[in-house]
Structure 1
């Protein structure tokens, strides 16, 4: 028979408590956003970000004037039912153009909504008295995938959203999501780029990827805990039961 060394119960509890605190400190570093060990305040200017129009974007353009009848030829509508008429959208073609009534082909790619509005206003001045142009981007949406609570595609009505707002719409990251290596996939000017973003770094606020463009995809990778849990699969229950028995035995032996 081998002798079991007696461990004082209080010492066992203290060791367990210290170990738990150490694990907690380590995990908080992996979970908290915007970590700053110095704790100083940072003042930054807010960027007036505006997305640029890309091939395949869908625009709604409405033209009005102090002379409503004169503005009619510059608007296109679906067939009118009763007193309701819905404006037909413009789809930006492969050349980055739309075919605007009365003005012909008009290049809009790489322009912001404001720039398109200003350019159309200038082009309409010879035809209309005080033209009013309203341009809207219909297909502004972002997708959030991976370790978030509600993955999916989200429409953006205001045409302005930052990465934190997009993640918030998806219900925030789960505790299994890697916060230091979030991937942002963006398609612009015929090219697809993939960028790694660290959500624990306060420099995120000054990053060119802080504000999102239409059709951006955010992917949150699973951490090792999630991967290991998936690998265990159906054996998880057996392992938990075994650990419970071992802890119970340890409690009896040190009593």
Structure 2
């Protein structure tokens, strides 16, 4: 009887340990309410905007290179070297402005790249004919932290990135990450805005943070399984000791019998 009781307690202990580390399918599957062959129209009219402290590359070109040269900033090579001049980027100051050659101060914070092109084309019209304006955000990065396989800060090529693409760069969520409560921290000129998104539903595609902006931080919280597992890890020595005592006691009783 004592042997059976000890074996039963040991079995219950092992079952509790296994079940505490399990996660249900509903906790880990994305877009669970999306139907087969369902068509979802993208209603998210996201347009990237420039922010204070952004680093922006602007290059003006025309058929007449000499005419457009004064409107481009370059860092010249050292005398006697064969190095080509390097273009200089603009940093948006605390007033949301950049100091553009010839034209002077221009406020571009809060504008999209296309809106800046229109603004510059208008201001350059008295100097240049049909200028080609290339604009690129140089410091577009997103940071992904928490329960992902490769947390870190990732550079973004292009003008926008979705939260799914950012999580893909980080190797996707671990099995212990909360899909229903992913936090996005966004900075608007010094003001932090917090927004949560549920990746288990198709409505995530319409979330205001589905498209990320420069310097967004994505944080994936641990689910209950991860929290329980952490608690068990903290008490590992106790559990090992208890299991060792039970096993030793069982062996001794069986040996004596």
With the length of structure 2 as denominator, give the TM-score of the two structures: 0.81
* RMSD, matched Cα: 2.9
SS in 2 for 1:180: helix
Using the alignment, how far apart are the partners of 2:56 and 2:155 within structure 1?
A: 14
Q: 1:35 aligns with which of 29, 32, 35?
A: 32
Using the alignment, how far apart are the partners of 2:84 and 2:147 within structure 1?
A: 44
Q: Residues 200 and 92 from structure 1, CA distance in 2 versus in 1: closer, same or farther, beyond 3 angstroms?
A: same
Residue 95 (structure 1) shift: 0.7
SS in 1 for 2:109: coil
Per the alignment, residue 161 of structure 1 pairs with 161
Per the alignment, residue 109 of structure 1 pairs with 109
Using the alignment, how far apart are the partners of 2:34 and 2:165 within structure 1?
A: 24
Q: Residues 3 and 59 from structure 1, CA distance in 2 versus in 1: closer, same or farther, beyond 3 angstroms?
A: closer
Give the number of the structure with larger relative contact order, counting CA–CA contacts within 8 Å between residues 6 or more apart: 2
SS in 2 for 1:43: coil
Q: Which runs of 5+ in 2 are unaligned?
A: 6-14, 251-257
Using the alignment, how far apart are the partners of 1:84 and 1:234 within structure 2?
A: 59
Q: Could you give the per-residue CA deviations for residues 33-76 of structure 1, whole angstroms, max 9, x where no partner exists?
A: 11118657132136463210111111111111111001111111
Residue 206 (str. 1) matches residue 203 (str. 2): no
Q: Which runs of 5+ in 1 are unaligned?
A: 6-15, 250-255
Per the alignment, residue 9 of structure 1 pairs with none
Q: 1:53 aligns with which of 28, 46, 50?
A: 50
Matches within 5 A, 1:50-199: 50-81=47-78, 82-199=82-199
Using the alignment, how far apart are the partners of 2:144 and 2:198 within structure 1?
A: 16
Using the alignment, how far apart are the partners of 2:41 and 2:48 within structure 1?
A: 21
With the length of structure 1 as denominator, give the TM-score of the two structures: 0.81
Per the alignment, residue 236 of structure 1 pairs with 236
Q: Could you give the per-residue CA deviations for residues 5-42 of structure 1, whole angstroms, max 9, x where no partner exists?
A: 9xxxxxxxxxx9xxx9xx97x71000101111865713
